[in-house]
Structure 1
Amino acid sequence: MTFLRAVSAEFRKIRTTRLLWVLALILFGYVGFSAVAIAFFLSITPEEAGMPIADDFLAPLVYSMATATGYVFPIIFGAMSITSEVRHRTLGTVFLATPNRSVVLAAKAVAGLVIGAVYGVVALLGSVGLGAPVLAATGQMTLLNDPDTWLMLGRIVLAMALWGLVGVALGVLIPSQIGSIVTIIAFTQFVEPILRTAAAFADWLGEIAKFLPGAAGDALVGASFFAVFAGAGGGGTAPLEWWQGGIVLAGYAVLMGAIGAATTWRSDVT
Structure 2
Amino acid sequence: MTLATTTRSETTKQFTTAMWWILAIVLLAYVGFTAAVLGFVFSASATGAIGGAGAPQIPEESLPPVLYSTATSVGYVFPLLIGTLMVTSEFRHKTLTPTFLATPRRGTVLWAKLVVGVLLGLLYGVVGVVAAVVPSAAFLAGYGVETGFASSETWAMLGRMLLAYVLWVFIGIGIGALVRNQVGAIVGVLVFTQFLEPVARAAASFVDGLDDVTQYLPGAASDALVGASVFSVSMPQTGAATEGLEWWAGGLVLLGYAAVLVAVGYLTSWRRDVS
**Band the TM-score falls in, shorter-chain normalisation:** over 0.9
Aligned residue number for residue 212 of structure 2: 207
* Mapping 1:1-270, distance limit 5 Å: 2-45=2-45, 51-231=56-236, 236-270=241-275
CA contact 1:199–1:235 (8 Å) conserved in 2:
no
Q: 1:51 to 1:199 in 2, by over 3 A?
A: farther
CA contact 1:197–1:226 (8 Å) conserved in 2:
no
Q: In structure 2, what residue type is equivalent to 1:124?
A: V
User: Counterpart of 2:37 in 1: which secondary structure?
Assistant: helix
CA contact 2:206–2:237 (8 Å) conserved in 1:
no
Q: In structure 1, what residue type is equivalent to 2:111?
A: A
Q: For the residues of structure 2 that align with 1:122 and 1:53, how far apart are their CA atoms?
A: 26
CA contact 1:38–1:62 (8 Å) conserved in 2:
yes
Q: 1:73 to 1:52 in 2, by over 3 A?
A: same
Q: For the residues of structure 2 that align with 1:209 and 1:244, how far apart are their CA atoms?
A: 14
Shift of residue 226 of structure 1?
2.5
Q: For the residues of structure 2 that align with 1:45 and 1:25, how far apart are their CA atoms?
A: 30
Q: Which moved more, 1:4-13 or 1:196-205?
A: 196-205
Aligned pairs, number: 270
Q: In structure 2, what residue type is equivalent to 1:259?
A: V
Q: Which moved more, 1:248-257 or 1:105-114?
A: 105-114
Shift of residue 203 of structure 1?
3.2
Q: For the residues of structure 2 that align with 1:203 and 1:149, how far apart are their CA atoms?
A: 32
CA contact 2:14–2:20 (8 Å) conserved in 1:
yes
Q: For the residues of structure 1 that align with 2:201 and 2:240, how far apart are their CA atoms?
A: 10
CA contact 1:115–1:161 (8 Å) conserved in 2:
yes
Q: For the residues of structure 2 that align with 1:231 and 1:89, how far apart are their CA atoms?
A: 48
Q: For the residues of structure 2 that align with 1:50 and 1:7, how far apart are their CA atoms?
A: 53
Q: 1:243 to 1:23 in 2, by over 3 A?
A: same
Q: 1:50 to 1:7 in 2, by over 3 A?
A: farther
Q: Normalized against structure 2, the TM-score is what?
A: 0.94
User: Counterpart of 2:94 in 1: which secondary structure?
Assistant: coil
Residue segments in structure 2 that go unaligned for 5+ positions in a row: none
Task: Output the aligned Cα RMSD.
Answer: 1.5
Residue segments in structure 1 that go unaligned for 5+ positions in a row: none
Kindly, what percent of the aligned residue pairs are identical? 46
CA contact 2:66–2:229 (8 Å) conserved in 1:
yes
User: Counterpart of 2:150 in 1: which secondary structure?
Assistant: coil
Q: In structure 2, what residue type is equivalent to 1:118?
A: L
